[in-house]
């Protein structure tokens, strides 16, 4: 996909994606439901990201349906365990899709980023079954680019500084091929592509500081901080001021309008039950381990040796996985769901799929340094102390990554507690 500026391998990307999900998922699922997505449908989710819409589709189509979720980095998708899900590494601008295979295809905040967006849209339409639907959602930054800008921000004295930050973000994305007004073009693009019953809806969620929905903006700025400074778009002071305001629950701003546009491929809909099934997704621990950032660079033979060391467990929302000040002898890697880390009652971080925790108490034979609580139902890989030490001896490269991750986590925790 080339020009996409946000990186799924970034350590806080799951938190950034979670902010998008909180703000945008209700509208997306409403449109998919209105299209008629239901039991037995075959679905394609392009650039599935954190997997929230993929999970919704899997639940919606049921055991007789099938969902293919693609991305150029399937780190979060591969941690999902739905039996009717297939995950595939795929670039929509260059890799083929099976023709006339899907009842519905969805992509959100994707085509606007791609220099090959015309090719991608053509591929999507070709992959629809007769009577199948496509739903595409992209932003329209026209108000931000207007003179004067038409934006919503509160308190009013923050409007101009916020505009400077958002315009800096736009300049970075545009330099990588981004179309800031692609959202408004979607209805006529779908019509030109030969789709019928084309319609659209526009929404713009309010982002109040310090809430889950605001984290997408916050982490987008954090991720691109160095680019802003290198390009002379923002100073450290301006970035830090924006990040401080992003935690203020008395302040708010509004997303640029998100256009959701949908259309139907001509022809009578083919029953999914008669379509040729897509290949199933391998449910192997090795596949899961391959997507864990901690284990990146570990060769296949080592992964095969590591796999039997871990137990896969499931916990309910609200479960306390580690408790500050208590003994602990287990190390965890998150497969699905998220968890909140606190110390002395202060929130330190949110951990998502691919994150790990528990290593300090295991390595030191000491007490837990923080409390980790499940936000949602979760699946984790768990290693006891003996198996954890076997892991380190089996793959010495992991020790270096553990130390680097531990150092970064301690730095973040100290900063959070001194604010």
- Clarify whether residues 188 and 78 are in a common domain: yes
Output the pLDDT for position 282. Answer: 33
Domain membership flag for residue 276: no
Query: Could you read off the pLDDT of 271-293 as tens digits, one per residue?
Result: 554 444 333 333 346 666 666 66
Domain membership flag for residue 189: yes
- Clarify whether residues 37 and 178 are in a common domain: yes
C-alpha torsion angle, residues 197, 202, 205, 206 (rounded to 10): -160
Query: Could you read off the pLDDT of 300-338 as tens digits, one per residue?
Result: 666 666 666 677 788 888 899 999 999 887 888 888 888
Query: Could you read off the pLDDT of 36-52 as tens digits, one per residue?
Result: 999 999 999 999 989 99
For residue 69, how many C-alpha atoms fall within 13 Å in the half-sphere facing its CB? Answer: 28
The count of domains in the chain is 2
Question: Domain end: 202, 230, 265, which one?
Answer: 265
* CATH, residue 64: 3.40.50.150
- Clarify whether residues 325 and 384 are in a common domain: yes
Domain membership flag for residue 273: no
- Clarify whether residues 234 and 332 are in a common domain: no
- Clarify whether residues 247 and 104 are in a common domain: yes
- Clarify whether residues 82 and 154 are in a common domain: yes
Q: Where are the alpha helices (DSSP H) in 62-198?
A: 117-127, 142-145, 159-174, 182-192
Nearest to 332 by CA among 394, 384, 392: 384
Domain membership flag for residue 275: no
Query: Could you read off the pLDDT of 134-165 as tens digits, one per residue?
Result: 999 999 999 888 888 888 888 999 999 999 99
Burial of 367 (0-12, 13-18, 19+ CB in 10 A): middle
Domain membership flag for residue 274: no
Question: Domain end: 199, 233, 265, which one?
Answer: 265
- Clarify whether residues 210 and 326 are in a common domain: no
**Distance (Å, whole) CA 114 – CA 128:** 20
Instruction: Indicate whether 19 pLDDT > 90.
Output: no
Q: Which has the higher per-residue pLDDT, 396 or 65?
A: 65
Output the pLDDT for position 6. Answer: 74
Output the pLDDT for position 268. Answer: 72
Q: Which range marks the domain in which residue 340 is found?
A: 285-418
Report the chain's mean pLDDT, rounded to a whole number.
84
**Distance (Å, whole) CA 27 – CA 25:** 5
- Clarify whether residues 256 and 333 are in a common domain: no
- The first and second tokens of residue 47, run together, are 């650039």
Question: Domain end: 212, 232, 265, which one?
Answer: 265
Domain membership flag for residue 7: no
Output the pLDDT for position 176. Answer: 86
- Clarify whether residues 121 and 178 are in a common domain: yes
- Clarify whether residues 81 and 127 are in a common domain: yes
Q: Where are the alpha helices (DSSP H) in 224-338?
A: 225-230, 236-245, 285-290, 300-306
**Distance (Å, whole) CA 9 – CA 293:** 7
Domain membership flag for residue 63: yes
Domain membership flag for residue 116: yes
* CATH, residue 300: 2.60.120.10
- Clarify whether residues 257 and 392 are in a common domain: no
Average pLDDT over residues 74-79: 89
- Clarify whether residues 101 and 194 are in a common domain: yes
φ and ψ of 34, to 5 deg: -70, -30
């Amino acid at each position: 996909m080339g020009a996409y500026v946000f990186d799924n391998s970034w350590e806080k990307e799951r938190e950034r994606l979670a902010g998008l999900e909180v703000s945008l998922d209700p509208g997306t699922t409403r449109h998919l439901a209105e299209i008629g997505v239901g039991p037995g449908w075959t679905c394609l989710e392009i650039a599935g990201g954190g997997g929230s819409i993929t999970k919704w589709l899997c639940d919606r189509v049921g055991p007789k349906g099938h969902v293919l979720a693609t991305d150029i980095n399937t780190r979060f998708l591969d941690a999902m365990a739905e039996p009717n899900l297939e995950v595939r590494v795929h670039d929509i601008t260059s890799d083929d899709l099976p023709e006339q295979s899907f009842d519905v295809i969805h992509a959100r905040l994707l085509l606007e980023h791609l220099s090959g967006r015309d090719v991608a849209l053509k591929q999507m339409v070709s992959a629809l079954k007769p009577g199948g639907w496509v739903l595409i959602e992209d932003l329209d930054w026209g108000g931000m680019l207007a003179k004067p800008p038409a934006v919503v921000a509160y308190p009013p004295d923050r409007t101009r500084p916020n505009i400077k930050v958002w315009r800096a973000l736009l300049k970075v994305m545009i330099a990588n091929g981004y179309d800031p007004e692609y959202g408004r073009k979607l209805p006529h693009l779908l019509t030109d592509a030969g789709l019928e019953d084309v319609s659209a809806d526009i929404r713009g969620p309010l982002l109040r500081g310090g809430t889950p929905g605001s984290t997408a903006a916050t982490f987008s700025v954090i991720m691109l901080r160095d680019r802003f400074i290198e390009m002379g778009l923002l100073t450290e002071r301006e970035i830090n001021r924006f990040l401080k305001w992003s935690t203020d629950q008395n302040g708010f701003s509004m997303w640029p309008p998100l256009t959701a546009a949908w259309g139907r491929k001509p022809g009578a809909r083919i029953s999914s039950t008669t379509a040729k099934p897509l290949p199933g997704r391998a449910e192997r621990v090795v596949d899961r381990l391959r997507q864990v950032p901690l284990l990146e660079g570990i060769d296949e033979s080592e992964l095969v040796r590591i796999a039997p060391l871990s137990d896969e467990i499931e916990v309910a929302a609200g479960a306390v996985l580690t408790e500050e000040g208590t003994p602990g002898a287990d190390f965890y890697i998150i497969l699905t769901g998220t968890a909140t880390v606190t110390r002395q009652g202060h929130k330190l971080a949110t951990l998502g799929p691919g994150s790990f925790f528990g290593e300090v108490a295991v390595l030191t034979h000491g007490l837990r340094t923080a409390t980790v609580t499940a936000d949602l139902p979760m699946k984790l890989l768990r290693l006891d102390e003996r198996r954890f030490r076997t892991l380190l001896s089996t793959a010495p490269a992991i020790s270096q990554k553990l130390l680097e991750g531990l150092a970064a986590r301690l730095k973040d925790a100290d900063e959070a507690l001194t604010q």
